[in-house]
Amino acid sequence: MNAFLSQPECAKETGTWCANVYRLTGNDWIAASADWLVAKPLKILVVLAAALVLRYLLHKLINRVTRLPRENNGKTPALLRPLRERAPGVAGTTLIERRQQRAKTLGSVLRSITSFVIFGIAGLQILAELGINLGPLLASAGVAGVALGFGAQNLVQDFLSGLFMMVEDQYGVGDYVDGGEAEGTVEAVGMRVTTLRDINGTVWYVRNGQIMRIGNYSQSFAVAVVDVPIAYNSDVERASELLGTVAAQVTSEDPVRSEVMEPPEVLGVTAMTPENIQLRLTVKVKPGSQWMVQRALAGKISTALTEAGFERPLPRLFGHQ
């Protein structure tokens, strides 16, 4: 009985958990196990509490910098301000949606990274507190990570490509892009897949990792190009003057006027084929409006050439009837 109630060696050290527990309980087994029963659980709880509080604060900060201001007035979320934005020509709800989706996706990535890092460090500290040797565990995790990386390399490639596309703002919601096999208007940009809708209404889901090159028709400005074929016996100088006159008139009227950024320019002869001579006219316009401007110019130019008596190039190939 005296042996059972004898004071353990650890209780002789003042200020230790063992000594404090033995003083309160008088039980040597509980005092000897105080480190496992009291100290380690308390340390684990402190680590978990600190991890949860830190994660909450960081997530709140990320949500704050990725949220659009209540009074937007063309402002961007704080997270996007240091990053380059390539959509100055986009306006209205499309621009707001573009910024929201970009900020939301980047915020989701940051939240996932912070959660993984915080809980990863907390988990390692808890395992170390439990006396588990972390060396073999980290080595095994490294091997498993390499194997998982090889097995899911396409998925990792998609996510990394999507991240860089978001950071660099290569394209966004509302842009008209040519991604190689798929071309159309961007409806959604995710970390793994970009959604396009082509001119026929077909929705294309394109993996970000499979996009080798991207052509964006909606950044900064666009150029409306109109190639006009005329017959070989036509007066090229007179035709060029007519093109310039018609283009100046069309671009000074609504709805084309609001889309034009610079006056039209007649480049002159750009090609000579067996059938005709080609004259080229270009106009610098707002992104996405080049097709509308081209259609308006082509229609007016065709009518003006006919009224001015210019011969069509086709009779030269097939002969007069």
Residue 81, pLDDT above cutoff 70: no
CA dihedral 131, 135, 140, 143 (to 10 degrees): 160
Q: pLDDT per residue over 220-231, tens digit each?
A: 788 999 999 988
- How far apart are alpha carbons 39 and 61 in whole angstroms? 33
- Which domains are seen in the chain, by residue range? 16-66+94-132 (no CATH), 175-216 (2.30.30.60), 222-308 (3.30.70.100)
Higher-scoring residue by pLDDT: 98, 246: 246
Task: Tell me the C-alpha to C-alpha distance, in Å, between residue 158 and each of 136, 189, 207, 277.
Answer: 31, 12, 6, 47
Handedness of CA 92, 94, 99, 101 (dihedral sign): positive
Residue 2, pLDDT above cutoff 50: no
| pLDDT confidence band for 295 (50 / 70 / 90) | very high
Higher-scoring residue by pLDDT: 91, 101: 101
- Answer yes or no: are the C-beta atoms of 40 and 127 closer than 8 Å: no
Residue 84, pLDDT above cutoff 60: no
Higher-scoring residue by pLDDT: 24, 165: 165
- How far apart are alpha carbons 27 and 9 in whole angstroms? 13
Burial pattern 140-178, b for ≥16 Cβ within 10 A else e, equals eeeeeeeeeeeeeeeeeebbebbeebbeebbbbbbbbbe
Which structure tokens are listed for 117? 């890092």
Q: pLDDT per residue over 34-58, tens digit each?
A: 555 566 777 888 889 999 999 999 9
Task: Write out the H or E segment, with its range, that includes residue 88.
Answer: none
